Structure 1
Amino acid sequence: MSNSLWRYVKNVQKMGFKNYVRAMWYIGDAKGGKFVGEDQFGNKYYENLNPEEETPGRQRWVDYTQHNFDASQLPPEWHAWMHHIRKDPPSSDFQMLQASRPKWIGPFRENLSGTRGAFKTYSTTQPKFHAWDPKVSQRAPSASA
């Protein structure tokens, strides 16, 4: 039995059938790992540091709560952990727990481009060119009638 097939079977046994189906639907892989934390939106973060089970660079992943998920739904502190910028997750990182967010930085919101909630500019200037609007006048009655 190959190493990747054995890893797959072990992870399916650890996860259970329901979690296996959800993982295959959302991330396309049967992964098993340690639960690391959860953000304010309900996204759950996992990590597996065993080099025999996971490929380097793929040992951290997120389980989104929404069905239509997007990478912009990760808060900045979790994004830094996911991309190996920070070693410890925000839920256990002492510096992240002690630091307070400055008041001039607003609350985190996902990128809404391409959705109904996207920002649309409103222009108050008059257009330089106007489309031609034909004006139809009444015909004169014919003299032969």
Structure 2
Amino acid sequence: MVSLQRTIRSIQRVGLREWWRQMQYIGDAKSGRLVGKDQFGNRYFENMNAEEEVPGRHRWVDFAQHDNNATQVPPEWHSWLSHIRKDAPTEDSVMQNFSPPWKSPWTENLTGTRGAFRTYNTTRPKYEAWQPKVAARGVSP
């Protein structure tokens, strides 16, 4: 359980509205430095104060959408969140200057949604469902 002192300190830092939103979405009140924002509107934060955050959990993402999943985080931000890269993409000169011409914009995984990829098949099926043939009956006198 979060202590009363930490709760009051969090409300003072982020405001009552943002504190309530964080409690609803992530179940913890966090405050830190805004590092950057991606094309989806997700905000990325970092808090290097060792007294407030558990080691390894000092970087986090605030998703823009309520129905969120991990595929909404672009690869460059994922590598920063996972501590693969030291600097965030907004602060790293290599990431800012590196944009290959073949790189397409990041899209989330749409499996299980209406936007999921479905193949279109043009070949005849190997078997077809049986269709009964109805013959006309003779008229009785």
* CA RMSD of superposed structures (Å): 1.7
Report sequence identity in percent: 54
- Quote the Cα distance in structure 1 between the aligned partners of 2:44 and 2:84: 15
The alignment covers a number of residue pairs equal to 140
> What is residue 120 of structure 2 aligned with on the other side?
122
In 2, Cα distance between the equivalents of 1:9 and 1:84? 30
Q: Secondary structure at the match of 2:89?
A: coil
Q: Paired residue for 1:52?
A: 51
Deviations 1:91-119 (A, max 9, x none): 111221222x2112222111111111111
Matching residue's letter, 1:131:
A
Q: What is the identity, as a one-letter code, of the residue corresponding to 2:103?
A: I
Structure-1 separation of matches of 2:20 and 2:43: 17
Determine helix, strand or coil for the equivalent of 1:136. Answer: coil
Query: For residues 96 and 104 of structure 2, what CA distance do their matches in structure 1 show?
Result: 18
| C-alpha separation in 2, matches of 1:140 and 1:9 | 90
Q: Using the alignment, how far apart are the partners of 2:117 and 2:92 within structure 1? A: 34
Task: Indicate the residue corresponding to 1:29 in structure 2.
Answer: 28
State the 1:141 CA deviation. Answer: 3.2
Q: How does 1:52-131 map to 2 (within 5 A)?
A: 52-99=51-98, 101-131=99-129
In structure 1, stretches of 5+ residues that fail to align are: none
Task: Output the CA distance in 1 between the equivalents of 2:104 and 2:44.
Answer: 24
